[in-house]
Amino acid sequence: MDKAKVYQWLREGINEKNLLLNEPMNKHTSFKVGGPVDIMVLPENVKELQWVVEICRNEALPFLVIGNGTNLLVRDKGIREIIIKISHNLSEKSVKGTLIRALAGSSLSSVAHLAWKSGLIGLEFASGIPGALGGGVSMNAGAYGSEMKDVVKSIIALKTSGELVEVNNGDLLFEYRSSKVQKEENLIIVEVSLDLEPGDPDEILMKMRKLNKLRQLKQPLDFPNAGSTFKRPTGYYAGKLIEDAGLKGKRIGGAQVSRKHAGFLINLGYATSDDIIKLIALIRKTVEEKFGVLLEPEVKILGEP
């Protein structure tokens, strides 16, 4: 990819301040690791997003769409593609009755707080999840017995053909930590409609505080991490398997299995992506050898090997 040429193409439809060259991905992931991406685009509106996708389609340029990077692990050599980051630039929200409509870059916590302020029940579980709404819907994020599939009414998505389409809940094929959007790379979530129920704002706030207190007690929020590193295997809990395998506190370089919750891998402040990837491989191998269970990573690994 000729970065200079692509940059000039993109400048025709994107504000220059929203085009970043050789941008370190450690600034854009909650793990705080990762090498540079060739070009990062931060579209300010849906029209700009369509422009970027059109350029990539017409010129056969590889691209990836991310949100706040809370579920990503970028390799140390970085990414040789265009990253389209949908975050705070696309975060408008509105409420009408029990329906919240929000652009995909809205943080889950901000949408949960809007629901609380509007006296709407159903998003309390999301108030402490650090990711963006689009990413949360794509992976059907959840916590404490609730998931995004429980509250999503529909989405508006941009197809790589440039067409905007509406997809209803029943057609999103929600599964545990997965959806149609995650499986079909030609869909980019632009807007989400959430159907909630009326409730008492004081009770909603109490529940949010209770769940966030539980997070603080059980999760290593004081270290960079990407949430639960592994999906929950059927009939087991990943954290317990890892702890029972004797790996709690295990460290490779600056990456460590959290002593607070073995389901989380943390960056002690000097980890490389390679450290984390090696620790993931060690955990998977050890748990499979001891218990016959192959853990499936929940974090998505991107970048040049």
| Residues annotated as part of the active site | 177, 228, 298
Across the beta sheet with 93-96, the strand order is 93-96, 99-103, 187-195, 152-159, 164-168
CB 68 within 8 A of CB 131: yes
CA distances, 244 to each of 34, 58, 240, 257, 286 (Å): 30, 52, 6, 13, 10
**Full DSSP string of 128-175:** T--SBHHHHHHTT-EETTEEGGGTEEEEEEEETTS-EEEEEGGGS--B
CB 299 within 8 A of CB 225: no
CB 273 within 8 A of CB 226: no
Axis-axis angle for helices 108-117, 201-218 (nearest 10): 150
CB 124 within 8 A of CB 212: no
